């Protein structure tokens, strides 16, 4: 047994301790993959058979991969095994990703799987940063003041993201009101459900705002839509909001100005992070990611894939559909417009 290891050291000029470590560490995964492969063969599950064969091959050759990468004088067939394994590994990975994307495609309609993926990714930095954003807290408070929680209102939050608004409402108290919070990003909804866990009067639902919404006419007393409309490809959403809102119902929209300056919003957010001191270490690495993702949003807006609304543009659309504008004011460090519109009742 020892001769085997010393031979390897002599033959391939590798560190025998590292080789032994990899060799012994791979024994348990080897037998585990072996038994998993046998059970997959019995069940006839092709996908699992391929997966466990690849894993078994990989684990079996792991000590030899060390020789391949760090040793000398290895036989020619090592090249085949090494590159064979790499190719099979890459192929399996690509297949896995393609299957995932196909599942999203069939789940979500043809065109929006990229958006779906984008907002899932966006949730990582956004949901962390927003937790410390003073401008967002001020905005949520502004929205809270507009609502009337004395009455048991039925509220729709269209594009609820990570549920920060709902969390704010829960802390302030929402009386007997009920909230329907919708978003199409699974990751955003997962975060939102965790944030508002155990609060039964909030229902989270995965829905696409580019499609007809599954609510009957005049369902809601209030619709809130914060920083979402720019990402919706069609203006039919305004008509949909009109349809599902009760007469005299409130529509609260918050949309970035066309000359939105991210830096101006970032400055007060930075103050919030500074207060966290060393705890902010985990959050700083997310900042380049959100800057990069915001650049993609800019790019999509320039390509007219995402929309941009001027205040007058928004007012015009709302007026045409049958809303009366009650309040317009700047929020989020003066980078977004808040609009409160009321659905005019038809006599
Ligand atoms: C910038 S975030 C704002 C989230 C939340 N309103 C807030 O203020 O924290 C935009 C949200 O819109 C959602 N969204 C984008 N396109 C959507 C669509 N077509 N249907 C539903 N939600 C969508 C995203 O998943 C994301 O959660």
* DSSP secondary structure code for residue 336 in this structure: E
Q: Which of 187, 153, 151, 180 is nearest to 166 (CA)?
A: 180
Q: If you measure from the C-alpha of residue 19 to the centroid of ligand 1, how many angstroms do you get, rounded to a whole number? A: 51
Q: State both tokens at 77.
A: 């067939």
Which residue is associated with the tokens 């003066």? 334
Judge contact between 314 and 337, C-beta under 8 A.
yes
Pairing of strands 202-206, 336-343: unpaired
| 3 state DSSP class of 90 | helix
Give the model's pLDDT for residue 104.
55
Q: Which of 47, 66, 188, 31 is nearest to 115 (CA)?
A: 188
Q: State both tokens at 42.
A: 């019995």
Question: Ligand 1, atom 1: nearest CA belongs to which residue?
Answer: 227
Question: Given ligand 1 and candidates 183, 191, 210, 265, which is best to mutate, with the most ligand atoms within 8 Å of its CB?
Answer: 183
CA distance 145 to 338: 13
Q: If you measure from the C-alpha of residue 152 to the centroid of ligand 1, how many angstroms do you get, rounded to a whole number? A: 25
Q: Residue 15 belongs to what H/E stretch? A: none
Q: State both tokens at 328.
A: 């317009």
Beta strand spans in the chain (E): 154-158, 178-183, 202-206, 220-226, 245-256, 323-331, 336-343
The answer to whether the CB of 158 is under 6 A from ligand 1 is: no
Q: Which of 69, 46, 59 is nearest to 89 (CA)?
A: 59
To the nearest 10°, report the CA torsion of 217, 219, 221, 224.
Answer: -90
Q: If you measure from the C-alpha of residue 290 to the centroid of ligand 1, how many angstroms do you get, rounded to a whole number? A: 15
What is the block-wise mean pLDDT of the chain (347 residues), using blocks of 10 residues?
Answer: 76 84 88 89 82 85 83 79 81 78 53 81 93 93 90 94 97 94 96 93 95 95 96 91 96 94 85 76 84 89 84 96 96 96 84
Give the model's pLDDT for residue 40.
85
The answer to whether the CB of 159 is under 6 A from ligand 1 is: yes
The answer to whether the CB of 185 is under 6 A from ligand 1 is: yes
CA distance 129 to 141: 18
């Amino acid at each position: 047994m020892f001769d085997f290891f010393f031979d390897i050291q002599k033959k391939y000029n590798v560190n025998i301790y590292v080789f032994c470590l990899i060799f012994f560490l791979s024994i348990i995964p080897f037998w585990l993959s072996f038994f998993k492969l046998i059970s997959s063969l019995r069940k006839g599950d092709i996908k699992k058979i391929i997966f466990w064969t690849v894993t078994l091959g990989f684990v079996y050759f792991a000590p030899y991969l060390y020789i391949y990468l760090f040793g000398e004088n290895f036989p020619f067939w090592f090249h085949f095994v090494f590159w064979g394994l790499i190719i099979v590994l890459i192929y399996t990975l690509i297949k896995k990703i393609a299957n995932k994307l196909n599942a999203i495609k069939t789940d979500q309609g043809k065109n929006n799987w990229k958006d779906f993926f984008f907002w899932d990714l966006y949730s990582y930095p956004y949901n962390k940063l927003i937790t410390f954003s003073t401008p967002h807290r001020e905005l949520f408070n502004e929205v809270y003041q507009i609502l009337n929680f004395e009455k048991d209102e039925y509220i729709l939050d269209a594009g609820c993201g990570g549920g920060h608004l709902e969390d704010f409402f829960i802390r302030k108290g929402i009386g007997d009101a009920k909230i329907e919070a919708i978003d199409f990003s699974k990751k955003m909804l997962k975060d939102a459900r965790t944030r508002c866990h155990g609060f039964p009067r909030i229902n989270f639902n995965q829905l696409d705002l580019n499609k007809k919404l599954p609510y009957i006419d005049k369902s809601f007393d209030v619709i809130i839509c914060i920083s979402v409309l720019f990402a919706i490809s069609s203006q039919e959403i305004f008509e949909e909001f009109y349809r599902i809102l009760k007469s005299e119902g409130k529509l609260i929209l918050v949309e970035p100005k066309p000359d939105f300056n991210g830096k101006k919003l970032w400055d007060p957010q930075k103050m919030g992070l500074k207060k966290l001191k060393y705890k902010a270490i985990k959050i700083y690495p997310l900042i380049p990611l959100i800057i990069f993702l915001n650049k993609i949003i800019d790019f999509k807006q320039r390509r007219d894939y995402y929309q941009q609304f001027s205040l007058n543009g928004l007012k015009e659309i709302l007026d045409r559909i049958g809303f009366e504008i009650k309040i317009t004011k700047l929020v989020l460090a003066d980078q977004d417009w808040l609009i409160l519109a009321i659905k005019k009742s038809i006599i």
